[in-house]
């Protein structure tokens, strides 16, 4: 009997919010964000690079599935508990 094979979606990859960007290039979604919104404010003020660095050290492994993006996991927990 052959085992079933499922093609899974790729894991989201973390990209630093400090990554360089092009001046004047914003997606339509980014243009409509209200900078006074509490979630936008929180996302811009959290030190994601430091937090995700710790998360990646703890959950890095050569075996098994790659871990989810640290920002995705930690952001979900914050939304759940705030």
Backbone dihedral region for residue 71 (phi beyond 0: left; psi -120 to 50: alpha; all else: beta):
alpha
Residue 11, CA distances (Å) to 3, 32, 64 in order = 23, 27, 13
- The position carrying tokens 């960007």 is 21
CA 73/CA 6 separation, integer angstroms: 23
On whether the CB atoms of residues 33 and 40 are closer than 8 A, the answer is yes
Instruction: List, for the chain, all residue ranges whose pLDDT scores fall below the cut of 70.
Output: 1-15, 17-27, 29-31
What does the pLDDT read at residue 34?
Answer: 86
Residue-level pLDDT at 77: 92
Give the separation between CA 59 and CA 22, rounded to whole angstroms: 32
Q: How far apart are CA 12 and CA 50, in angstroms?
A: 18
pTM score, two decimals?
0.58
């Amino acid at each position: 009997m052959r085992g079933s094979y499922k093609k899974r979606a790729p894991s989201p990859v973390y990209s630093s919010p400090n990554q360089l960007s092009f001046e004047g290039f914003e997606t339509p979604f980014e243009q409509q964000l209200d900078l006074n919104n509490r979630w936008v404010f929180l996302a811009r003020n959290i030190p994601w690079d430091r937090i995700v660095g710790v998360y990646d050290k703890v959950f890095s492994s050569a075996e098994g599935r790659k871990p989810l993006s640290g920002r995705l996991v930690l952001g979900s927990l914050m939304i759940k508990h705030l």
